Structure 1
Amino acid sequence: MAEEAEAAECPVCLQPFDGESTIPRVLGCGHSTCHDCLVSLPKPPFIKNTIRCPGCTQLVFYPPQGPSALPKNIDLIRLSKPFLSIKPSKSSSSSTTHDFVPNLWSHEFYLHWKHRILPQLSIETSDQTSSFVLHQNHKSKVNVSLFKLAFFSDNDNDENAAAFFKFSYISKVMWLLFKLGNDDSLSELDSIFNLNHPLVSTAYGLWCDHRHNLYLVCEYKARDTSLLNVVVSQQEDLSTFGIIGMELCETVMKLHDYGLVCGCCSLSCFCIDRFGHIVIGLNQVYMVGERLQNMTAQAVSFAHDNSQSLESDFTNALFEIHAFPSPELLVEFVQKQGIHFEFDKSTCTAGYSSDVWSIACILIWFLVGKSFADETYAFLSSFIHEYINGNTCDCENLFVGWLDKVSGFLDNRLGSDHVSIKELLCKCLCHDPGTRPPVIDVWKYMRGLIIKPKFDIIAITEEKSTNTHKCHCLLLGDLLWSSKKTNKVDDRSSMMNDSTHENLVVESDVIEGLRKTSLACTELKGHLDCISGLAVGGGFLFSSSFDKTVEVWSLQGFNHVHTLKGHEHKVMAVVFVDSKPPLCISADNGGDIFIWGITLPFEEKPFRKLNEEKDWRYSGIHALAVSSSGYFYTGSGDKSIKAWSMHDYSLSCTMTGHNSVVSALVVCNEVLYSGSWDGTIRLWCLSDHSPLALLGEEAPGASVLSLSAYTHTLVAAYENGSIKVWYKDKPLNSISAHSSSIFSICMEGQWIFSGGWNKTILVQKLSGDDESQVEITEIGSIAGNSVVTALHYWQGRLFVGQADRIIKVYSFGG
């Protein structure tokens, strides 16, 4: 028994058509939608008098009078059981598609980090000094320090490097960020950027130099405001000592509030701002950590050599950076070098109390002087040497002996009047981190040295203990300790303010594959003049040229198959028609159109010749396009577009409206787009060849030289080097992509390729699903040796026609 047909209904409100409350109106595409829904449907704001059909999404004419000017669908109203409207389905290709550029990172990753990337020209460097300046705007600039996070190892001696893919600045930074590896590194960076307090140096962003080095850019204070200058001046006043101690504690506590721990407080990490407050520099903390890395790595490598020489080098290095690493931090540094011993591991973990140890050392140096630093650095050098050699008992003895000497230093300096200061500082230096007082207790005591409790108007309440929640030690984090670290020192760079350091070498397999191995280039030679057009179909590549020929190349081995001869003028355009039998259409600037049969063996002559009428002002045909509706179109110098029937090859109609040469044609979603030298783009309905809309009327600007379209996106290339993009009928910001004319542009999926006078192929990516967040990112470029005149993308291959008569084919794995 046959199924009963369902009543036809509106594709928007799903109500059955009845001719009274739900009146079907016929759109230009043939689909029907009810009157009320057409009124409420959104209209493209930038393409007047158009609407997208809810059934097939085709852009069709919408009368300014409203839907009442559209005809009623009488058949749907009259028939109680109308015919079902069959929606055409798009057949998915069974062949595997390949991306020309791999999707190295997600759009969410890009959106998260793009605002952290500083412009390439925002950092001012100097070869004579180690200072750097960040230009925030035209009037404001600040001193900054640079800490190298990663670098891309590039082979500068490769002679063919210029011929292959190079990442843009933004993509280079995103790629290096992505290759930093795990979520811990990026989470640590996030924490640094989220720090927002005047006592912590501001992290401005990420910057990449011309050597492919990626840096964290942070605020930098001049050396003359360093805390080191205050400590070595040997102040005698205990109130000054209390102020320094309180300021140090407040600065470190702000880091602890964000769950961050320095792990080693060095005098070089702190400076004094213009209000007299102590500020910590995050980049300086990382620089100290890298020096400690190098020192412990060297100590591990030469553990069994001359111990006195090694300890002396370690002591001198500590003096250079004025650092006081806690014993537990040094133990973890050594363990990260691959050496592990049972050394009370449960209590020897760097955390909040490690900063307390370092603060106490700085304060004792302030009280006692250089003799304390000499003794402490000697102790740390012996401690690390004994630990590396497995003498854990000797390590404990060394610690006890050192603490006794420190106690004697304090007795001589403070006497019996300030026993409580000595007890506090010695408690901060306990071997067991768990027995050290929290930073807040040290702060309270230092405040008491300045303001007596009875005069302190600020009520000091019991704040939450920072020792109870999880912390992250910057010097033990993945930004310093990564599996990709190398022990080689980059001597070419002075970005560390004269301190040597390790570099995070980013694995370069993907990029090196793009540039040298996987991205292969094949050159096709055979034309005698400039390439003017490219087309692919039927297993062949077709190339037109000013030499009046069309060359046919096999897509299997890219060998030359045949030459199509017959044109008496420059061949300006070529297209492939997937029909039975398959056809190739070529057109020249004399107005001649040749239609070739693509069957083996190839015929020597075209089976049909057409010709456009011309006068003395006529400059022939400049563009070709083919539609699935049985027409091909020519864009001409007489400012018109002509539609030719594929059935009898007769001229069906002439579309006029442009004020200059029609230079580009493209068909997409049942719409014909035409670009002209008059700077405008016109949209035409394929069903009746009526005009739909006009783009660029408000500001025509430069001439349109090339068009490309993919699903809901239209891209246009202009004579002034700019690219304009329309996504779902909405224009995006114009892009100044090239410095000169763009002769060809093509789009495949989310990738846009453009090339022209500057001999460079620019690769851009359209990303984002939400219309309000769609944006274009420059991914990179392919440098060439000649003007790019034609581009075509097909199944993972990019075909490039050049003015020097050569066709280049870029593909993977060639």
Structure 2
Amino acid sequence: MEAPECPVCLQSYDGECSVPRVLACGHTACEECLTNLPKKFPDTIRCPACTVLVKFPLQGPSALPKNIDLLRLFPSVSQIKLESGRNFKKPVEFVTRSWSDDFYATWKDRILVHDAVSVENGEGEISDLASSSRLFGSLKNDSKVSLLRVASFELDDCDSVLKYSYVQRMMSCLWGLKDEERDELEKIISIMQRGVSKVFGLWGDLKNGVLYLVGEKLIEFPWEEFDSLTDDDASRLGIVGMQICEALLNLHKEGVISGCLSVSCVKFDEFENAYVDLIELMETGRNVCRIIAEETKSLRKPVDASEMDSLLVGLLQKGIFMSSEFLFELLKEQNMLVKNDSSKSLVSYSADVWPVCFLLLKLRLGNRFTKELIESVDAKGREESIEDLLVLYTGITEKLCLESELQGKFKLMVEILRQCCCIDPQARPVLTDLWKCNRDLVMNPRFNSMRGLHKKIPGKRKEFCLALSELCHLVEVESKELEEASPGMKTGGKAEEGKVDIDFLGRLSEGKVKSKDIRGHQDSVTALAVGGGFLFSSSYDKTILIWSLKDFSHVHTFKGHQDKVMAVIHIEGAKPVCISGDGGGGIFVWSTTVPMEDQPLRKWYEPKDWRYTGIHALAYSEYGHVYSGSGDNTIKAWSLQDGSLVCTMSGHKSVVSTLVVLNGVLYSGSWDGTVRLWSLSDHSLLTVLGEETPGIVRSILSLAADDQTLVAAYQNGDIQIWRDDTLMKSTKIQIGAILSIVVNGKWLFTGGWDKTINVQELSGDEISLDCTHVGSIPCASVITSLSYCEGKLFAGFADKTIKVYYCGC
């Protein structure tokens, strides 16, 4: 047998160097470790074995008794069951969630708040926004933005009573995207480079169920001002050309290749600096994919020169320029080429040289450039055959008479522009060469000292072509399809190819959140308890009703209270009982063994004084004590066996409104705004929480605890969350008093005066904690009590009803 060892330092006890000392909870640790353990509160320490707060002597661990029996049984020590009494049954989720905490942490800051963007429309009409791919809007600070549609999510007209929060629905929508699409979105949002427009994040249009990418809206490029530039305008052309090259080079640093460009991709800021618009780049890529897909439907396989002619003319008429390898890659995806193999894409950084070259020619020659280019393509297409397909695309600049048009200062650009249209990507100049060519129009080459520019992109990173990305291949869902699609319809697996899967919510949970009404009380419901296969509900009507958890039918009624019943709990055991407390100080113990009796097993009453206002809360400990929180500011411990008063715990300055027992500690919440922790072994005060803000009194109306998490709900709609007695979170989650709160694992439910049940999800670690609003359940009345068990949420209301919320198909 292994020698017994300290649970902290794992050193074997020897009675000399490692002396075992016994704590009040019964566990043992060595004297040195107990000395070094952190002490957050005076005269208390947290047991390193069971994590229960226990009293710690002022003299230190030497004042604690030695574990003599442990030293005597040195060869064989029974293993201490640290987790005795805990339920290891896997909890049933109220709403199952697909994504992880890491996924939420990655995307939460990339989602703009729901009222961050106001949508605009050029014609003032907003009825057709659901079918629009591109929209414009503004932020709260009146900054203009452009919106690009990414995906669709379910509208708020589903049959689920739980109305999911904005963030939750956006997370579900993002989770429904493919991994490649999310990776590309993350890459685009994270780009912060000079000369590239900003992307602020993602925003969901709740009215139309569309998720948009929100980007900076810049000034449209004034192409008419660049029509037929003279030599005197060479410097301006050179500056714009340099800025376009710099923007694309910065994109290359991020591992992003544009693939194709259009005149709309270049914008100006207020200082007349040229920018490359990321949103327009993606829209251009979508337009190319859409044009190719539409044109190839009626074309033969493989395409011939005349059909290629039609494709090129269609793209050029829309002002879209692309490299040969990019066009071939698109046709390969459509199975429209002679050699349709699965080889690696040929699209690389050099693919951006070609469209930049054409943009510069467009700047220099104006509208005549596009007209002559189209005529050149038509003429070449009539002359060439399918075998000369490459010649068709690479020879389109030969008839533009560049030498005659680009005279004077522009003549220096002729040779490098010709090289940019080379069919071999390796033989083309790089963007830095184009940048230098444009700079020569601005300054004298003899002042050139920029020797640090080189062709190689530094660093090894994952790269992708923006125009060939998964986001550009998304097929838009028309508004008609959105209207006809059933919100609750299941896809049964992978979405049909070519359509956006809008049933993200269906994948979020196993089913819709349904509800069932339970009626029987004649007045407001005050408390709920679950146990022994039953639901117990108390009411102002002085009764306790018992309901079956199988079909929620009424089983029995406990009558006998002379005052309104304020609290009810259920105690499991060999002889299960239900305990109820009323506003007159009466505590009744009822047997819940079937068949149930009409009379209580025993009852007793609290002594009254002039401050007395009845019992507000009940709790039970494994020591056989029933605890009552009273209007006289005290907590009383009663023997369940005979109802005798064991002790009275004083300290609160107002009504004790709520009690919770967990891990050997009694937590009491009061209208004085504090939470007091009491030892269950000797009923001594361990510490006080909530005194950090003196002068500010917020009455605590409900407490909930689970494992090492304690949550307090206040009358002003705030909650505070502690872990290991350290305040981790303080936030307002609803308007008005929170009358009841329940925590179960990661789920947190609150209800109160605002007639809404809010569902929060807790996540994080010992350093930080997040409380995420998952959704809300609108109700018709004030929520007075909540209880949660095995994936079902029970709610009591002021209008006499009880509702059961559960996941159903």
Inter-partner Cα distance in structure 1 for 2:473 and 2:38? 54
Inter-partner Cα distance in structure 1 for 2:620 and 2:344? 76
Root mean square deviation, CA, Å: 3.7
Instruction: Answer whether contact 1:266 1:324 (CA < 8 A) is retained.
Output: yes
Instruction: Answer whether contact 2:253 2:457 (CA < 8 A) is retained.
Output: no
Cross-structure match for 1:279: 275
Cα deviation, residue 605, structure 1:
1.6
From 374, 380, 399, the counterpart of 1:405: 399
User: What are the within-5 Å matches in structure 2 for residues 145-156 of structure 1?
Assistant: 145-154=146-155, 156=157
Q: Given the superposition, is the C-alpha separation of residues 468 and 757 from structure 1 closer, same or farther in structure 2, using an over 3 Å criterion?
A: closer
Cross-structure match for 1:677: 671
SS of match in other structure, 2:321: coil
Deviations 1:385-423 (CA, angstroms, capped at 9, x unpaired):
999xxx8447556436633333x3x24413699766333
- The yes-or-no answer on 1:209 pairing with 2:205 is yes
Cross-structure match for 1:243: 239
Cα deviation, residue 773, structure 1:
2.4
- The yes-or-no answer on 1:481 pairing with 2:473 is yes
Q: Given the superposition, is the C-alpha separation of residues 147 and 670 from structure 1 closer, same or farther in structure 2, using an over 3 Å criterion?
A: same
Cross-structure match for 2:91: 97
Instruction: Answer whether contact 2:326 2:347 (CA < 8 A) is retained.
Output: yes
Inter-partner Cα distance in structure 2 for 1:382 and 1:662? 92
SS of match in other structure, 2:397: helix
Deviations 1:596-623 (CA, angstroms, capped at 9, x unpaired):
1112222122121221122343221111
Inter-partner Cα distance in structure 1 for 2:802 and 2:701? 20
Cα deviation, residue 222, structure 1:
2.2
Q: Given the superposition, is the C-alpha separation of residues 213 and 657 from structure 1 closer, same or farther in structure 2, using an over 3 Å criterion?
A: same
Inter-partner Cα distance in structure 1 for 2:342 and 2:3? 78
From 726, 732, 749, the counterpart of 1:730: 726
Cα deviation, residue 488, structure 1:
2.8
Q: Given the superposition, is the C-alpha separation of residues 443 and 490 from structure 1 closer, same or farther in structure 2, using an over 3 Å criterion?
A: farther
| Length-normalised TM-score, structure 1 | 0.86
Q: Given the superposition, is the C-alpha separation of residues 523 and 548 from structure 1 closer, same or farther in structure 2, using an over 3 Å criterion?
A: same
- The yes-or-no answer on 1:525 pairing with 2:530 is no
Cα deviation, residue 364, structure 1:
1.5
Cα deviation, residue 649, structure 1:
2.6
Inter-partner Cα distance in structure 2 for 1:788 and 1:681? 23
One-letter amino acid of the structure 1 residue matched with residue 418 of structure 2: C
Q: Given the superposition, is the C-alpha separation of residues 491 and 419 from structure 1 closer, same or farther in structure 2, using an over 3 Å criterion?
A: farther
- The yes-or-no answer on 1:359 pairing with 2:356 is yes
Instruction: Answer whether contact 2:629 2:656 (CA < 8 A) is retained.
Output: yes
Inter-partner Cα distance in structure 1 for 2:326 and 2:84? 63
Inter-partner Cα distance in structure 1 for 2:196 and 2:285? 17
Cross-structure match for 1:711: 707
Q: Which moved more, 1:281-290 or 1:668-677?
A: 281-290
Inter-partner Cα distance in structure 2 for 1:195 and 1:250? 14
Cross-structure match for 1:456: 448
Q: Given the superposition, is the C-alpha separation of residues 440 and 208 from structure 1 closer, same or farther in structure 2, using an over 3 Å criterion?
A: same
Cross-structure match for 1:787: 782
Instruction: Answer whether contact 1:50 1:692 (CA < 8 A) is retained.
Output: yes
Q: Given the superposition, is the C-alpha separation of residues 378 and 728 from structure 1 closer, same or farther in structure 2, using an over 3 Å criterion?
A: farther
- The yes-or-no answer on 1:87 pairing with 2:80 is yes
Cα deviation, residue 96, structure 1:
4.9
Cross-structure match for 1:499: none
User: What are the within-5 Å matches in structure 2 for residues 382-461 of structure 1?
Assistant: 392-393=386-387, 395-396=389-390, 398-399=392-393, 402-406=396-400, 408=401, 410-414=402-406, 421-459=413-451
Instruction: Answer whether contact 2:172 2:504 (CA < 8 A) is retained.
Output: no
Q: Given the superposition, is the C-alpha separation of residues 95 and 506 from structure 1 closer, same or farther in structure 2, using an over 3 Å criterion?
A: farther
Instruction: Answer whether contact 1:24 1:76 (CA < 8 A) is retained.
Output: no
Instruction: Answer whether contact 1:379 1:399 (CA < 8 A) is retained.
Output: no
Cross-structure match for 1:497: none
Cα deviation, residue 310, structure 1:
13
Inter-partner Cα distance in structure 1 for 2:751 and 2:87? 28
SS of match in other structure, 1:115: helix
User: What are the within-5 Å matches in structure 2 for residues 640-789 of structure 1?
Assistant: 640-699=634-693, 701-769=697-765, 771-789=766-784
Inter-partner Cα distance in structure 1 for 2:145 and 2:381? 34
Inter-partner Cα distance in structure 1 for 2:279 and 2:467? 11
| Count of residue pairs brought into register by the alignment | 776
Deviations 1:21-78 (CA, angstroms, capped at 9, x unpaired):
555544222334343322211112xx4432111232211122445445x443374599
Inter-partner Cα distance in structure 2 for 1:517 and 1:623? 35
Instruction: Answer whether contact 1:575 1:586 (CA < 8 A) is retained.
Output: yes
Cross-structure match for 2:194: 198
Cα deviation, residue 791, structure 1:
1.1
SS of match in other structure, 1:568: coil
One-letter amino acid of the structure 1 residue matched with residue 782 of structure 2: V
Cross-structure match for 2:488: none
Cα deviation, residue 721, structure 1:
0.2
Cα deviation, residue 80, structure 1:
8.0
Q: Given the superposition, is the C-alpha separation of residues 32 and 275 from structure 1 closer, same or farther in structure 2, using an over 3 Å criterion?
A: same
SS of match in other structure, 1:511: helix
Q: Which moved more, 1:274-283 or 1:52-61?
A: 274-283
| Length-normalised TM-score, structure 2 | 0.86
Inter-partner Cα distance in structure 1 for 2:481 and 2:315? 18
Q: Given the superposition, is the C-alpha separation of residues 467 and 430 from structure 1 closer, same or farther in structure 2, using an over 3 Å criterion?
A: farther
One-letter amino acid of the structure 2 residue matched with residue 357 of structure 1: W
Q: Given the superposition, is the C-alpha separation of residues 518 and 339 from structure 1 closer, same or farther in structure 2, using an over 3 Å criterion?
A: farther
Inter-partner Cα distance in structure 2 for 1:384 and 1:437? 27
Cross-structure match for 2:102: 108
SS of match in other structure, 2:104: helix
Instruction: Answer whether contact 1:153 1:505 (CA < 8 A) is retained.
Output: no
Inter-partner Cα distance in structure 2 for 1:601 and 1:105? 46
Inter-partner Cα distance in structure 1 for 2:547 and 2:333? 58
Deviations 1:362-382 (CA, angstroms, capped at 9, x unpaired):
122222221221243577799
One-letter amino acid of the structure 2 residue matched with residue 152 of structure 1: F
One-letter amino acid of the structure 1 residue matched with residue 783 of structure 2: V
Instruction: Answer whether contact 2:24 2:54 (CA < 8 A) is retained.
Output: yes
Cα deviation, residue 542, structure 1:
1.0
Cross-structure match for 2:566: 572
Inter-partner Cα distance in structure 2 for 1:523 and 1:245? 69
Q: Given the superposition, is the C-alpha separation of residues 301 and 386 from structure 1 closer, same or farther in structure 2, using an over 3 Å criterion?
A: farther
Instruction: Answer whether contact 1:148 1:213 (CA < 8 A) is retained.
Output: yes
Q: Given the superposition, is the C-alpha separation of residues 13 and 325 from structure 1 closer, same or farther in structure 2, using an over 3 Å criterion?
A: closer
Instruction: Answer whether contact 2:584 2:615 (CA < 8 A) is retained.
Output: yes
Cross-structure match for 2:29: 33
User: What are the within-5 Å matches in structure 2 for residues 257-656 of structure 1?
Assistant: 257-274=253-270, 276-301=272-297, 319=317, 322-336=319-333, 339=336, 341-342=338-339, 349-377=346-374, 392-393=386-387, 395-396=389-390, 398-399=392-393, 402-406=396-400, 408=401, 410-414=402-406, 421-459=413-451, 462-464=454-456, 471-482=463-474, 485-486=475-476, 488=478, 507-509=501-503, 511-512=505-506, 517-656=511-650
From 133, 138, 141, the counterpart of 1:133: 138
Q: Which runs of 5+ in 1 are unaligned?
A: 494-502
Question: How many percent identity over aligned positions?
Answer: 41
Deviations 1:732-785 (CA, angstroms, capped at 9, x unpaired):
13110111111111111121111111111111122123x112322222222222
Cα deviation, residue 672, structure 1:
0.5
SS of match in other structure, 1:576: strand
Inter-partner Cα distance in structure 2 for 1:421 and 1:20? 89
SS of match in other structure, 1:732: strand
Instruction: Answer whether contact 2:70 2:77 (CA < 8 A) is retained.
Output: no
SS of match in other structure, 1:324: strand
Deviations 1:446-505 (CA, angstroms, capped at 9, x unpaired):
3334434333243366442689987411111122225xx445368999xxxxxxxxx997
SS of match in other structure, 1:402: coil
